[in-house]
């Protein structure tokens, strides 16, 4: 009788360990899925930034922006000359 009870307790403990391992595996898979989704989002963000980059470069090099930068530099030089 005592041996049977001990064996039943061991069986129950083994089943609990098995259930815990299965839950751990499921949690690990969910974490990996979340990591993969995050990586996919980062890759999409990078692709979007790379797609926008030529437009930003073109805007930065446009004649209007170049003229504005030259005007700003001239104003700064004028201010520096007035302060001197």
List average pLDDT for each run of 10 residues in the chain, which is 84 residues long. Answer: 88 94 96 96 95 84 84 92 86
What is the pLDDT at residue 69? Answer: 86
Q: Which domain holds residue 60?
A: 2-83
Query: Distances in Å between the alpha carbon of 53 and those of 42, 56, 67, 68, 78?
Result: 16, 5, 21, 21, 34
Query: What's the domain count of the chain?
Result: 1
Q: Which two tokens stand for residue 47?
A: 């692709």
């Amino acid at each position: 009788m005592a041996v049977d009870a001990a064996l039943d307790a061991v069986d129950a403990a083994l089943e609990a360990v098995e259930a815990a391992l299965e839950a751990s595996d499921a949690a690990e898979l969910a974490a990996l899925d979340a990591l993969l989704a995050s990586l996919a989002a980062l890759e999409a963000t990078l692709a979007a930034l790379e797609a926008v980059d030529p437009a930003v470069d073109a805007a930065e090099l446009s004649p209007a922006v170049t003229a504005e930068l030259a005007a700003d530099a001239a104003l700064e030089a004028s201010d520096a000359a007035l302060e001197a």
